[in-house]
Chains A and B, each alone.
Chain A
Amino acid sequence: MPVFSYLAYPVQGAKEELFNDLSALDYCEAMQAENKEVLILVTDTPDEKTEKALQKQLKTLKSLQSLGMTFGHTDQ
């Protein structure tokens, strides 16, 4: 049951779009900074398989420039 958190950097001018994209994904909670071009993403998936699938989905988001991991937890 992995839990991760990231700083999510949008492509230029796409903070709102990235927030909507991340919020639409299962197992994701996103939070926008009010005054900076960055978001926080917390993912909470039930197993490794789902986690890998989510990682793939994240890589397809056009509004996302990069992710920087800030926390990681698995039950193993």
Chain B
Amino acid sequence: MDITRRAFIKTAAAQSAVAAAAVLFPGISFGAWKNLDTSSGGIEWKKAPCRFCGTGCGLLVGVSLDRAVAVKGDPNCSVNKGLCCVKGYHSIQILYGNDRYRKALVRKNGELVETPIQEALDLVAEKMKETIKDHGKDAVSIYGSGQWSIPDGYAASKLFKGCIGTNNVEANARLCMASAVTGFMTSFGLDEPMGCYDDIDHADVFVTWGNNMAEMHPVLFSRMLANRKTKTHVKIIDFATRTTRTSQAADKSIIFSPQTDLAVANAICHEIIRNKWVNEDFVEKHVSFRKGKTNIGYGTEDHFKFTDKEETADFREYKAFLQDYTPEKVEKISGVPAKDIKYMAALYGDPDKKVTSFWCMGMNQHTRGTWINNLVYNIHLLVGKISTPGNSPFSLTGQPSACGTVREVGTLTHKLPHGVVANETARKLAAEIWQVPVENIDPKPSYHTVEMFRALDRGDIRFMWIQVTNPMVTMPNLKRYRKGAQKQGRFIVLSEIYPTPTSDIADVILPSALWVEREGFFGNSERRTQHNEQMVPPPGDAMCNTWQLIEVARRLGYEKQFPWIREAYIEDIWNEYIQFHDNPKHRMASYKELKARSGVQWPFVDGMETKWRFNPEYDPAAKGDGFDFYGKPDHKARIWIRPYEPAAEFPDNEYPLWLNTGRILEHWHTGSMTRRVPILHKSAPASYVEINPDDAGALGVTNGSRVKVSSRRGSVVMTASINGRGLPPKGMVFVPFFDENHLINEVTLDAFCPISKQPDYKKCAVRLERA
């Protein structure tokens, strides 16, 4: 049916009212909406997960005449219950920017020239063959993303790890959640949160650890506020390094000096023990103690290697270790008043309060990211507040499928879809499912992300295929890696939708189908897998990233491993992939089930989702009474002895300020999509540097004046923001990274957590000058 202009305006009018209602009344539902749409003319509504952050909001996309024309929250999706954030409400506009890549481009004499896509794919395959022949299999690599749909990552892993035989597979999720993974693995032996978003409805206390949820996970934050509105005793504590919108909405804002969250977490445990708030029965039955290496370095040098050494410890040793972390001692390190540390400890320690801790980049982008994840688990384990409704240490993710594609499919150098490359059983399983000789799968991990770009700079890697990410904005210490990628003898393939700074280093650009222009799956922060069908055709020659990989794999001679047909390849890939997880600890829903529902949480066993893992009441894989941390051989979670250690770089006389970087509500990561949505761009057109008023006054800088931010690695000139949406403490500045015209990552440091290899974008030393 055609749609008239008038009917479209009426639909927009109704949609605005629904959006306003959803903001005012979280969870509101309008059953008659569908009838109104029909009477207004010809819009078909189809479900899809939002393709921005890791929350995984369910959307309904209105499609008319092969075009997405409207979007609203899906009231049937338990994640958001009909609510969306400002990015979600404008999400369909990302499909229709004027400068979408519609044709393949190949660089000839320095210029990108339109080329038939089949010819471009021929060139990609030819260059891969040539590179492998001249430099070996470990000279080719693929760098993907937590925005990869699950079949994209699966096809990439199968091609590179299974067929070519290189572990040069990484994803930008290394930059945002690798520390969460190593935190889970070291504390529990299994990745991903034990709880779910229903914890928000049950908790009495929320502690946000360096996590500006009001801007980064606004729908979940709205659910927290809704809980507090209905239950007056509910408290939100924002524990952060700067004042944000989250702090403003919180009941209490506690500011700590960068990196000292390690000390404060230990001090909270010290207080819990001193006050006898330990859940002795839980600790006795379900916890064992460990310690690892200390003074572990920062990875700023090439070829940095680190392997932790896990040693058994005991409660007595742990108590003795915590004597260095009295609230009074930690106040001196962290700047957090001892009374505030005691207050936080009392909240965690109160047996009548259910406590949920949330964190994301603040804890993960940290040179001791694994440690701080361990330490927050320590707090929850000491008081036994875990794996029950409302009691949840909850690591949020930043990207729509960081969990689904990167963590579950295993698109990191050391991982396979089930297990790690170093494990023979995991290699055998992968070889069997992938139909490749087991010898193909290299047991040794190769390069994590930072080291992969260093290898490109050195010439150890010669070919890199980048899909769905923009590393020439996001890599820390960016100048080095841009220069490295532009060196002679490097060949870069980029699968993209819009021109970005990464296009400048590309030799071939393959136009990609985006989000609802192709069928796919995402996996969100609460172990929920979400399916979307293809709703509209992609523009021009744009092609699904999975199909690009299949086309190249066949050109490389892997027809047997990539036999699928266009009409059914996503379903066939799903059916092959879920064989890796066919056990009660991780069983996933069938294609049919996912197609019908607004997401399904795994483990999905006998038609039941698992909301709380490790608790036999909810988790079919857990056995016995109480809790069963079955990820570890002794079925016990770990409390880790991890000390405070300083940041890799900190302010000094020459560079006297901390630099913290991050995101804002309106823009998704590097802004390559949201900056093409007029209303989002207009609301935040350019990046800026937030400065404390005292520092600004000392420098003679006023709001809106131009300032140069410099580190030992580079500088950027931008506008000063004083008393804007965020307020850093004296001695710190904050810069959002969404703006490709102000590349703050030319200033940041490429230090990383030696265990997770995740860089720290939150701490380096800078100076300010008037520009």
Contacts and interface: CB of A to CB of B under 8 A. Distances in A.
Interface of A: 1, 3-7, 29, 31-36, 38, 40-42, 44, 68, 70-71, 73
A33 B21 contact: yes
A36 B28 contact: yes
Interface stretch (B10-18, B46-54, B241-249): B10-18
Contact of B16 (A32, A35, A36, A70): A70
B13 A34 contact: no
17 contacts: A4-B13, A29-B10, A29-B14, A29-B39, A32-B30, A33-B28, A33-B29, A34-B29, A34-B30, A35-B29, A36-B28, A38-B24, A40-B17, A42-B10, A70-B13, A70-B19, A73-B13
A33 B363 CA distance: 40
B698 interface: no
Given A3-B13, A35-B28, A71-B17, 14 more contacts: A3-B6, A3-B9, A5-B14, A5-B16, A7-B17, A29-B10, A33-B21, A33-B25, A38-B24, A44-B10, A70-B13, A70-B16, A71-B12, A73-B9
Interface in B1-47: 6, 9-10, 12-14, 16-21, 24-25, 27-33, 36, 39
Sorted nearest first, the 7 A-B pairs with minimum C-beta distance are A5-B13, A71-B16, A71-B13, A5-B17, A40-B17, A70-B20, A70-B17
Contact of A29 (B9, B27, B36): B36
Nearest to B11: A42
Contacts of B18: 40
B493 to A, nearest CB: 45
A71 B19 CA distance: 11
Given A5-B14, A6-B17, A71-B17, A40 B9 contact: no
Contacts of A34: 29-31
B21 A38 contact: yes
A35 B75 CA distance: 11
A34 to B, nearest CB: 5
Interface residues of B, number: 23
Counting chain A CB atoms within 10 Å of each CB, the highest count among B12, B19, B28, B30 belongs to: B30
Nearest to B33: A31
A31 B20 contact: no
Contacts of A5: 13-14, 16-17
B36 A31 contact: yes
Counting chain A CB atoms within 10 Å of each CB, the highest count among B21, B24, B33, B39 belongs to: B21
A50 to B, nearest CB: 15
A42 B39 CA distance: 12
Interface in B442-475: none
Given A36-B25, A42-B10, A31 B16 contact: no
| Interface of B: prevailing SS | helix
A29 B21 CA distance: 16
Nearest to A41: B17
Given A33-B28, A35-B27, A36-B28, A3 B10 contact: yes
Given A31-B14, A35-B29, A42-B14, A7 B6 contact: no
Contact of B6 (A1, A6, A32, A36): A1
Contacts of A71: 12-13, 16-17
Contacts of A68: 20
A44 B25 CA distance: 25
A66 B594 CA distance: 42
A3 B16 CA distance: 12
A4 B33 CA distance: 17
B31 A36 contact: no
Counting chain A CB atoms within 10 Å of each CB, the highest count among B17, B18, B19, B21 belongs to: B17
Given A3-B9, A31-B36, A38 B25 contact: yes
A1 to B, nearest CB: 7
Contacts of B29: 33-35
A27 to B, nearest CB: 11
Given A1-B6, A40-B21, A44-B6, A33 B13 contact: no
Contacts of A40: 14, 17-18, 21, 30
A32 B18 CA distance: 11
A46 B25 CA distance: 32
B28 A42 contact: no
A4 to B, nearest CB: 7
Contacts of B33: 31
A26 B20 CA distance: 24
B40 to A, nearest CB: 9
Nearest to A35: B29
A7 B28 contact: no
B708 to A, nearest CB: 44
A42 B17 contact: yes
A31 B6 contact: no
Interface string B213-230: 000000000000000000
A44 B9 CA distance: 10
A38 B24 CA distance: 10
Contacts of A29: 10, 14, 36, 39
B322 to A, nearest CB: 48
A2 B19 CA distance: 20
Nearest to B20: A70
